[in-house]
Amino acid sequence: MKYSGYPEPGEIVVGKVDEIEDFGVFVDLEEYEDRRGLAHISEVASGWIKNVRDHVREGQTTVCKVLSIDEGSQQIDLSIKDVNDHQRKEAIQRWKNEQKADNWMSIAVGEDADEYGRIANELVEVHGTLYDAFEQAAILGDEALAETDLSDAEIDAIVETARENVSVPYVEVTGYVDLVCSTEAGVDAVRSALAAAEGNGEVPEEIDLEVTYVGAPEYRIKVRAPNYKTAEGQLEASAERARAAIEADGGSGEFHRERRTDDE
C-alpha cells in the first residue's frame, strides 16, 4: 500500500535511485504514489564528491531524509547523507514489513483495488500501518479489529491470513468462565475455583495466565504463550480446573469464548 499525498519535511523515506546526473540523484519514493525527489550532489555524501556514481547506482534502494517540499512545483528535496545507520535500518525494515503486509492483504481480500483500498484504510486508521494491523490480528484475533467497520467475513479472512503468515514473539488468547455456587460456602468455592484456574503456581514459566472479574458470574481468562497451540491448551486447561473445582463444592462452571456480560 502506497500513501497518497506528500511526505512531511524531516520524514525518513525509502526510495529507489531512478536517475543519476552530475548535479544529483533522482529518487522514486517507494512508499508514496507517483512521488519523486532529488538529492542534490551536496546531499549525497559528506565531503567533496568527484563522481556521484561512486556513491550510488541506478536501481539501488536508498533511504533519504525529506528536506523540503514544494507542492506547487511537485519538488521534493532529499538528503541521503543526513540519514544515520539506525534510521536506515529502521526504515528498510519498515518498508520490508509493509511489502509483506501488502502481500497478506492480497491473500486476505483479493486483488480488487477498491476493496483493497477500503479495507486497508480501515486497518491503517486503527493500527497506523498494515503490518501492525496484521501483527495485532495474529496476536489478539478478532479483538484487534473490533474498532474497524469491517464485516465479520472480512475480519475472519484477515485474522486467518495473519495467523498463517505473521511471526510474532508471543500470542494471546482470551476466554471466559461462569462460576456459580449457591451453597453457604459459595464465596469460598468461587475463590478456590479462581485459584485453580490460575494454576495454583504450577503454570509453566513461559506462560502468562491471568484471571480477572468481568461481572457476576463471569471471569475472564487471558493467556499469553509462545504459540497458539500452547495458548489454547492452557486456556482450556485453566477453565477446566475452575469448572472441576466449583463443581466439587456443589456449584457449576461453564467455559465460553465470547463475553456475555455488559461492557465494563
CB 98 within 8 A of CB 131: yes
Per-residue pLDDT of the chain (264 residues; tens, 9 = 90+): 678 889 999 999 999 999 999 999 999 999 998 999 999 999 999 989 989 999 999 999 999 999 999 999 999 999 999 999 999 999 999 999 999 999 999 999 988 888 999 999 999 999 999 999 999 898 888 889 999 999 999 999 999 999 899 887 788 889 999 999 988 888 999 999 999 999 977 888 889 999 999 988 999 999 999 888 889 999 999 999 999 999 999 999 999 988 887 654
State in Å, rounded, how far the first CA of the chain is from the last one: 36
Residue-level pLDDT at 262? 64
Tell me which residue of 159, 158, 122, 119 sits closest to 141, measured CA to CA.
159
Strand ranges (E), the chain: 12-21, 24-29, 36-40, 61-70, 75-79, 171-180, 208-215, 218-225, 252-256
Give the span between the Cα atoms of 132 and 28, in whole angstroms: 25
Q: Phi and psi at residue 252, in whole multiples of 5°? A: -140, 150
Give the span between the Cα atoms of 114 and 116, in whole angstroms: 5
Measuring CA to CA, how many Å separate 116 from each of 102, 119, 221? 9, 5, 35
Residue-level pLDDT at 264? 46
Tell me which residue of 163, 173, 170, 168 sits closest to 223, measured CA to CA.
173
Grid cell digits, residue 92: 528498510
Residue-level pLDDT at 219? 95
